[in-house]
Amino acid sequence: MIAKIEQLLKEVEALKASNAEELEALRIKFLSKKGAINDLMADFRNVPAELKKEVGMRLNELKDKAQDKINVLKEQFENQDNSCDGLDLTRSAYPIKLGTRHPLTIVKNEVIDIFARLGFSIAEGPEIEDDWHVFSALNFAEDHPARDMQDTFFIEAQPDVVLRTHTSSVQSRVMEVTQPPIRIICPGRVYRNEAISYRAHCFFHQVEALYIDKDVSFTDLKQVLLLFAKEMFGADTKIRLRPSYFPFTEPSAEMDISCNICGGKGCPFCKHTGWVEILGCGMVDPNVLKANGIDSKVYSGYALGMGIERITNLKYQVKDLRMFSENDTRFLKEFEAAY
């Protein structure tokens, strides 16, 4: 009989029920009049007198444990919240339509990802800037014609305050408070006083990259450019560098990639040249390092800057720049699968 009690004790310990019906079945099996424990109680009469004390104690223990266990399981069901509390009955029964990421954000994130893998970290600066960070600290002389390269919005009441015309201003913001090594990427919105048309807008987006350390050379720049182009536009992409001019870099270059639409054979998009321009770059001019508190005899660096709209157009052939800021959901939806 002791063995039987032990066996039932084990069973009771392992009892599980996932709903009230199952629990009731267990109660009947163990604790009802015709249940297993009552059966044992009935047999108790036949237990030899010298064993009655021990068997009795064990039987009581079994009965208590079974009752406790059933109570615990019952409590669990009772505590389950079957009410409507926490349910928002005003919510639509239809699936909520998810928005899509903006194409410029998708492309910006891709650019950031590529540079992040090379150890660049993100830096940001203000869109409303002062003349120093946008121009003077970047080697634009006061009367330098290069200032005309960028049609600037001035805040009239304060002629020194401008809407930044390029994200190169963030270079100077970072350099003035950081000693090399510096390896940053600066995404952001920029403004230029342009008439809005399908090919120009008064605001657009750029990503700037800056790397300053000891012994940085043009070769480092070229290698990063090639890697970027292949990652962004595919492994077959070729690059070519053309000499150019920017006040803040010397030497300066513009980078073309083999036209990713015709593969370099020539098409209307690349004006039958097989090449399309995508960014400006160069070695940071020592004057810029000096103006921003970095020793140009010890350190050198490269910088590059690209327009996100331009890259996006190349990837997705968006013909009209204005589409990017019109928030037409039919247009935005087209990029649903792009990320």
Interface with ligand DAH by CB under 6 A: which residues?
166, 168, 208, 246, 249, 280-282, 303-305
Q: Annotated binding residue at 254?
A: no
Tell me the β-bridge partners of 300: 213
Residues 6+ apart with CB under 8 A from 249: 280, 281, 282, 283, 284, 285, 302, 303
Parallel, antiparallel or unpaired: strands 158-163 and 128-130:
antiparallel
Question: What's the half-sphere exposure (Cβ side, CA atoms, 13 Å) at 121?
Answer: 3
Question: Please, what is the minimum distance in Å from the beta carbon of residue 158 to ligand DAH?
Answer: 23
Question: Please, what is the minimum distance in Å from the beta carbon of residue 334 to ligand DAH?
Answer: 28
Give whichever of 168 and 300 is closer to ligand DAH, judged by the CB atom. Answer: 168
Give whichever of 188 and 282 is closer to ligand DAH, judged by the CB atom. Answer: 282
> What tokens does 43 get?
């047999």
CA 79 to chain centre: 40
Do the beta carbons of residue 181 and residue 212 sit within 8 Å? yes
Residues 6+ apart with CB under 8 A from 226: 239
Alpha helices in 80-212 (DSSP H): 103-117, 131-134, 168-175
Q: Which amino acid is located at 77 in the chain?
A: F
Give whichever of 206 and 237 is closer to ligand DAH, judged by the CB atom. Answer: 206
Per-residue DSSP letters for 74-101?
HHHHHHS--SSTT--TTS-SSPPPP---
Give whichever of 239 and 303 is closer to ligand DAH, judged by the CB atom. Answer: 303
Give whichever of 264 and 280 is closer to ligand DAH, judged by the CB atom. Answer: 280
> What tokens does 266 get?
């020539």
Give whichever of 264 and 307 is closer to ligand DAH, judged by the CB atom. Answer: 307
Tell me the β-bridge partners of 241: 255
Q: Which residue is nearest to ligand DAH (CB)?
A: 305
Question: Please, what is the minimum distance in Å from the beta carbon of residue 112 to ligand DAH?
Answer: 16
Do the beta carbons of residue 137 and residue 210 sit within 8 Å? no
Q: Which residues are annotated as a binding site for Mg(2+)?
A: 250
Q: Which residues are annotated as a binding site?
A: 250
